[in-house]
A and B are shown apart, each in its own frame.
Chain A
Amino acid sequence: MSDAVLTRDAAEAGDAARRRGSLGLKLQQQAGILGALALFIVLYLFYQANHPRGFTGQILIQNANEAFALALIAMAQTVPVLMAGLDLSVGAVMTLSGCIASHLVNGTPSEIALGIATCIGVSASCGFINGCVVVYGRIQPIIATLATSAIYMGFALILRPTPGGKVHEDLSWALTNDVREFALTFGLFENGEAAWLQPFAWVPVPLVLLGLIVVLIWVPFTRTVTGRTVYAIGSSEGAAYMSGLPINRAKLAAFTMAGLFAGLGGLFLALQTSSGNADIPQAGAYTLNSIAAVVIGGTSLLGGTGSAIGSVIGALVLRTISFNFRIFDIAPLLQPLFEGLVLLAAVSLGGLKLLRLKNKLEVFR
């Protein structure tokens, strides 16, 4: 009897989804991201509207600079989380990449290019090593990356026992400003005065870079078999294996992607601060915040659903909460409490869909 009811329920739900059409279904699938996006827009507009120089390019640049590294670390964290694993080494890989950058990203253009390539190569390799430990060592990701994070942090400390170093000054200035300043610094596009450039001239360079990374790396990755397999592993590793999907390859790729994104974040942090700093508490803070950003962005810690784009929005939400502390007079010792409350509310948004369940069994699906 109850079986029959269940199947009828399920059939009705399926019909309903089909009736609403693909747009409705898509929206439903992206509910996590949309919720985070709405929260971000509300918080950010609130901040901008109350800022004495709200809605100006300067504020946008400053905010983009502040959010970029965290956004990339959040993207990095997303990939292992999609497979229901956690990567505790993203902060360490970011730090290592930054420390390498503070040694190498300087000098002639070819030296700079080589330096950037080294940063990216080393951080992707760090990710790959994580993947190898998980796949061939058969160790839980959370433990494997806890161990490797200490190793990467150790290398970073060897490279930068005390903070310092130098990165190319113009490159640092250009990448932390808007497109016009970027063009002006490098004498491109008629020093940034070209007519076609004007509609985009106010856009902060970090936002452009973030967009490029999403479009050129993340989106193509999710369209490959390897990328789809990452999702499949998170949903059900057994089923993915039985379907003949390349499990090992996907795991290695996922951790390598995490390393790559974390490395890009570290590279930017080094450019932003024109120095390297093997700061252990900072690496830890970034790792923790990356997990928070992933969850706010609608990616399930159980794996299988979510997107790095959601995590970017999650990172923006995290940053925007503290932006507001600078505008409103909140007692300094109460600020962590407020941050926690907003975070809790943001994470709870993901749980709202439970209220709409008709049948408790759906929770376990």
Chain B
Amino acid sequence: MTRATRLSALAFAGFLLSSVSAFAGPKIVSGPGPDPNCFKPWSAQTKYMQWDKKPGPYRIAVVNGFVGNTWRIQMLQTAKAYAEQSGVKEKIKEFKVVSTGTDVAAQLGAIEDFINQGFDAIITIAVAPDGFDRVIRLADRNNVVIVPFDNVLDTDKVMQVNEDQLEIGRLSARHLLKELGQKRDGKILEVRGLPGNSVDRDRHLGFREVMEKEGKFQIVEVVGNWDDGTAQKATADAIAVHGKFDGVFTQGGSTGSVRAMMDAKHPFVPMAGEGENGFRKLIAQHASAGLKGFSYSQSPGLVSISMKAAISALEGNPMPQLISVPIPAVDYTTLKDNVNYWSNLSDNFFAANEFPACGVNVTAPEIMAKDAKNTQ
């Protein structure tokens, strides 16, 4: 209690004479920027930012949060592989990668540390969509480019890179509708991702938006946590309760969803899901039997687009504040072995890692091959 009154007295004094230092940082400019097919602005309203041009080569850090699932590990491997590619390598003087765990204080501390160490750009997957005001302020003061991607921040003060999750939901819904032909009723299974996550929310909203407008489907929702095991169990439970579905949209852990259907002797139906190699292998195998699959990907390769965008910003180019990376997606008609899936490699990696529009191509086998070397 004494602390509270003391603080309140201080706070009161503060109101009489408060001063917070002025912002430096990027200028707001008008577009377009370079490479508009790759660095596509999110919408027509997206503003452009321009930092002062810095001479290269640059010091770049990746501050990851959680580590411990395939996606994150593949992302870290991709980052290292991309930094080694010719054309990129020459522009990078120093490249560091840390993972801070799911602790926002540690992540903020790591970002601040790299700012203080004099790094030029910091790529990060934010552990929370909020709370980065202080480091953004510090980055602006020191002319550091911070690029959150994948789990982005609720702010328009930094340049961010992501795929449009609403669009992913819509694309999945459109695929199911196309494959269902004239049928506009029946049961659809929706296997959702991690509850409370904005990616899960947006994919769900996009999916529902199209499905509910187009037909009178009964959509059954289960939670799969984007994880093969959980998705498999959730799908099995749903089949046990509801019998038969006419279509399935699974946000992740797609391989698990398909396996649950096979185990339950559920007939193959049109499906939309993530870009796991295992899922794509199953589609290729069973498409003729009715597994008319669609596989989009929130690719771990987003990290390379973010690095490319950071370098471009450091070179003084005007950049969209929110970059919408083209969604890499294939369906059962466009799957090709050793091109967008690998029948001789394991199930557990994300097959879509290439972005032709960006000239970024770190193929999955390239990363898988580097596995052993990278951990040494």
Tell me if B106 is interfacial: C-beta within 8 Å of chain A: yes
Please tell me if the beta carbons of B127 and A332 are within 8 angstroms of each other in the complex.
Answer: no
Taken together as a complex, chains A and B put the C-alpha atoms of A157 and B195 apart, in Å, by: 12
A–B complex contacts, Cβ < 8 Å, 21 sampled: A51-B116, A52-B116, A66-B108, A109-B12, A120-B3, A163-B154, A171-B7, A172-B134, A173-B134, A174-B10, A176-B134, A185-B20, A186-B13, A277-B130, A279-B104, A319-B106, A326-B110, A326-B117, A332-B97, A333-B374, A336-B67
Whether B116 contacts A186 by the Cβ 8 Å rule is: no
The 5 closest A-B pairs by CB, nearest first: A273-B131, A113-B8, A187-B17, A66-B109, A186-B14
Identify which of B11, B64, B198, B375 contacts A186 (C-beta below 8 A): B11
Chain B residues with CB under 8 A of A157: 196
Asked if B99 is an interface residue, CB under 8 A from chain A, the answer is yes
Q: Within the assembled complex, what's the spacing in Å between the Cα atoms of A345 and B11? A: 44
A226 CB within 8 Å of chain B? no
Q: How far is the CB of A67 from chain B (nearest CB, A)?
A: 8
Query: When the two chains form their complex, are residues A62 and B128 in contact, meaning their CB atoms are under 8 A apart?
Result: no
Is B88 an interface residue when CB atoms closer than 8 A count as contact?
A: no
Task: Give the shortest distance, in Å, between A74 (CB) and chain B (any CB).
Answer: 13
Give B94-115 as 1s and 0s: 1 = Cβ < 8 Å from A's Cβ atoms: 0011111111111011101110
User: In the bound complex, how far is the Cα of B127 from the Cα of A269, in angstroms?
Assistant: 14
Contact of A65 among B10, B103, B108, B117 (CB under 8 A): B108
> Is B131 a contact of A173 with CB atoms below 8 Å?
no
B99 contacts which chain A residues (CB < 8 A)? 332, 335-336
Asked if A184 is at the interface (CB within 8 A of a chain B CB), the reply is yes
Most buried by A among B61, B112, B113, B114: B113
What 1/0 mask marks residues of chain A from 256 to 279 whose CB sits below 8 Å from any chain B CB? 000000000000010011110101
Q: B-side interface residues toward A, CB under 8 Å?
A: 1-5, 7-20, 61, 64, 66-67, 73, 76, 96-106, 108-110, 112-114, 116-118, 127-134, 154, 196, 198, 374-376
CB-based contact A277/B116 at 8 Å: no
A279, B129: Cβ atoms closer than 8 Å: no
User: Within the assembled complex, what's the spacing in Å between the Cα atoms of A108 and B15?
Assistant: 9
Q: Are B128 and A184 in contact (CB under 8 A)?
A: no
Which of A59, A120, A275, A333 has the largest count of B CB atoms less than 10 A from its CB? A333
* Complex-state Cα separation, A212 to B7, whole angstroms: 13
Q: Does A170 contact B (CB under 8 A)?
A: yes
Task: From known contacts A174-B14, A186-B13, A282-B127, infer whether A62 and B116 are also in contact, taking CB-CB under 8 Å.
Answer: yes
Q: How large is the interface on A (under 10, 10 to 19, 20 to 34, 35 or more residues)?
A: 35 or more
Contact B7 A161, beta carbon cutoff 8 Å = no
A186 and B128 within 8 A (CB): no
A186 to B105 alpha-carbon distance, docked (Å): 25
* Distance between Cα atoms of A212 and B376 in the complex (Å): 45
Instruction: List residues of chain B with CB within 8 A of the CB of A176.
Output: 134
Judge if A348 is at the interface, Cβ distance under 8 Å.
no
**B133 pairs with A332, CB closer than 8 A:** no
Complex Cα–Cα for A305 and B239 (A): 55
B221 CB, min distance to chain A CBs, angstroms: 17
A contact residues vs B (CB 8 Å cutoff): 51-53, 56, 58-59, 62-63, 65-66, 68-70, 108-110, 112-113, 116-117, 120, 157, 161-165, 168-174, 176, 184-188, 191, 212, 216, 269, 272-275, 277, 279, 281-282, 285-286, 289, 319, 322-323, 325-327, 329, 331-336
- Which residues on the A side are within 8 Å of B2 (C-beta)? 216
Residues of the A chain whose Cβ atoms lie less than 8 Å from the Cβ of B132? 273
> Does the CB pair A70–B105 fall under 8 Å?
yes
Contact between B8 and A110, CB atoms less than 8 A apart: yes
Complex Cα distance A277/B132, Å? 12
> Is B7's CB under 8 angstroms from A279's CB?
no
Cross-chain contact B112 with A62 (CB below 8 angstroms): yes
In the bound complex, residues from chain A placing their C-beta under 8 Å from that of B18 are 170, 185-187
Assess the B128–A277 pair: CB atoms within 8 A.
yes
Tell which of A53, A163, A326 touches B130, judged by Cβ atoms closer than 8 Å.
A163
CA distance A163 to B133 in the complex (A): 14
Nearest to A322 among chain B residues (CB) is B106
Query: Known interface pairs A186-B18, A286-B103, A322-B100. Does A59 touch B128 (Cβ–Cβ under 8 Å)?
Result: no
Closest residue of chain A to B95 (Cβ to Cβ) is A329
The answer to whether B104 touches A285, judged by C-beta atoms less than 8 angstroms apart, is no
B102 engages A282 (CB within 8 Å): yes
When chains A and B are docked, how far (Å) is the Cα of A325 from the Cα of B7? Answer: 36
Alpha-carbon distance A172/B3, docked complex (angstroms)? 16
Task: Establish whether residues B19 and A184, one from each chain, have CB atoms under 8 Å apart when the complex forms.
Answer: yes
**A126–B237 Cα gap in the complex (Å)?**
37
CA distance in complex: A163, B2 (Å): 30
Chain A residues in 8 Å Cβ range of B376 = 331
A176 to B15, alpha carbons, bound, how many Å?
A: 18
Chain B neighbourhood of A327, CB < 8 A: 117
Complex CA gap A344/B174 in Å reads 53
* Given A186-B10, A187-B18: A272 touches B374 (CB 8 Å cut-off): no
The answer for the CA separation of A335 and B76 in the assembled complex, in Å, is 12
Given A116-B4, A171-B14, A333:B73 Cβ within 8 A: yes
CA of A322 to CA of B65, assembled, Å: 13
| Residues of the A chain whose Cβ atoms lie less than 8 Å from the Cβ of B76 | 332-333
Quick one: which of B104, B108, B375 contacts A282, CB cutoff 8 A? Answer: B104
**Chain B contacts for A63, CB-based, 8 A:** 109
Distance between Cα atoms of A264 and B78 in the complex (Å): 40
